[in-house]
Every structure is written in C-alpha cells, then in structure tokens.
Amino acid sequence: MKKATSLRLHEDLVKRITAKARAHRRTLTNQVEEYVLIAMEVEDNPDLPYAFIRETIEAREEIKSGLGKPYKFGVVR
C-alpha cells in the first residue's frame, strides 16, 4: 500500500530526476522510488557493484513476469 509523503528536494536535483524519469518513461515519484530501492540494496550489499545490483533487481522482476528460463549447468551450446 502506498502512502503519500512530502519531500523537499533541491530544484536542480528535481530537474535531474525528472529528466531521468522521462528517459525511462516513469513518473517523478516512480523514479525516486527506483533510486531509493537501489540505494537500499547498495547499502545492504556494499561489496557488490551497482550494475550487478541493478541487473539483479531487473532479473528478479523478469522472473516474476514469467520471462525467465532455467539454466542448465554444464551444457554448452
């Protein structure tokens, strides 16, 4: 369940986040949520690279959407 919360952000930061949000076809709120989610994962896993964490989150969502395929270890094609 989502809860409305008010944040005060510097105008320049809002402009930068808005530009990223538009590029990814997200709302400003959704972009901020994405950044917060990734920041929390980075804090929980400081030894992992940012790109790995971001791609793992994306892969998790692909699995939930039914796009994942089982990997067969030891099979080279």
State the pTM of this model: 0.73
DSSP percent split of the chain into helix, strand, coil, nearest 5: 60, 0, 40
Core vs surface per residue 47-61: b (16+ CB within 10 A) or e: eeeeeebeeeeeeee
| pLDDT digits (tens), the chain, 77 positions | 888 889 999 999 999 999 999 999 999 999 999 999 999 999 999 999 999 998 998 999 999 999 988 888 886 76
Structural domain spans, the chain? 11-64
In which element (H, E) is residue 20 found? helix 11-23
